[in-house]
Amino acid sequence: MSTVHHDVPHLPPPRTEEVSDGVFAYIQPDGSWWINNTGFLVGRRGVISVDACSTVRRTRAYLEAVAAVTPQPVRTLVNTHHHGDHTFGNHLFSGATIVGHEGTRAGILDWGEPKAAPFWTEVDWGDVVLEPPFLTYQESVTLWSDELRAEVFHVGGPAHTTNDSVVWLPERGVLFSGDLLFNGGTPFLVQGSVAGAIRVLEEVVKPLGATTIVPGHGGVIGPELIDETLGYLRFVQAAARDGVAAGLTPLETARALDLGGYGELLDPERIVGNLHRAYAEVAGGAPLGHRLHVPTALADMVAFNGGRPLSCYA
């Protein structure tokens, strides 16, 4: 089966939602490739931002949205992981301390400058300057917005990537999950681990007891998204086991697969990249999260998409 991304010529504008007192989510529709969510905590002396955006235009619009809420400057910027939709705008946070896991810093430098071709439709990135975190941690760091505690911690193993962190506000039950969770979008684990993501969601994220989740993409939602995501991940694992047993490639398995309701999620072509990762785990012999050749997986995703670059509206 070949699935072509829908055409969205006019996306709704981003919106700012107050999810708890002084805590805001910044939601960017439609949440597909390179269109992420951010968020911010407003204190008396400054703002803590959770992530940046992918392009100069989108990051400036986000900073304008922050300024519409408070005149306080963004003093701290947290990166939940290294992917460019969450980090390419870092350089526009003048004067802010950029905080992230050690692997996030390394991942940003390894990925390099933004580029769309040949895997995505063209994107106007703007004049992006790579600006990785310069305050890094191995396990966790605690930030304070006045008296509000924000626990920032690495999830302990590979999931969406190998360097995922969450921002957890225990007093409010609010979780900024980064790309561990997509609401309405297909999860993507080619640089992480399918099995690892299942473990992280079951053993780390679910026990937090969050009542409000700001996902990396898609609208603010409750904890039901965790089980919905686990269902998809187990679906990928089962498809990989069947594909390996049948001697099929990840692309062949994806083409023969009935995605069912998962085919309604944004960017369903990610099934191919996820199968590349799951195949490596089914075969065994390498640690979870070991490095795959990402361009090969992306090329197969383009092939699954009818040979057309993946649609990006950033």
pLDDT at 219: 98
CA 294-164-309 angle, to 5 degrees, is 30
Cα–Cα distance for residue pair 274/186, rounded to 1 Å: 10
pLDDT along the chain (314 residues), means of 10: 50 97 98 98 98 98 98 98 98 97 98 96 97 98 98 98 99 99 98 98 98 98 98 98 97 98 98 98 90 97 98 96
pLDDT at 5: 44
pLDDT at 286: 83
- In which residue are the tokens 């269109």 written? 35
Residues 298-307: tens digit of each pLDDT: 999 999 999 9
pLDDT at 9: 60
pLDDT at 3: 40
Residues 222-241: tens digit of each pLDDT: 999 999 999 999 999 999 99
Does the reported pTM lie above 0.85?
yes
Nearest residue to 235 via CA among 196, 275, 280 = 275
Cα–Cα distance for residue pair 256/56, rounded to 1 Å: 40
Assigned superfamily of 15-304: Ribonuclease Z/Hydroxyacylglutathione hydrolase-like (3.60.15.10)
CA 22-170-86 angle, to 5 degrees, is 65
Domains of the chain: which residue ranges? 15-304
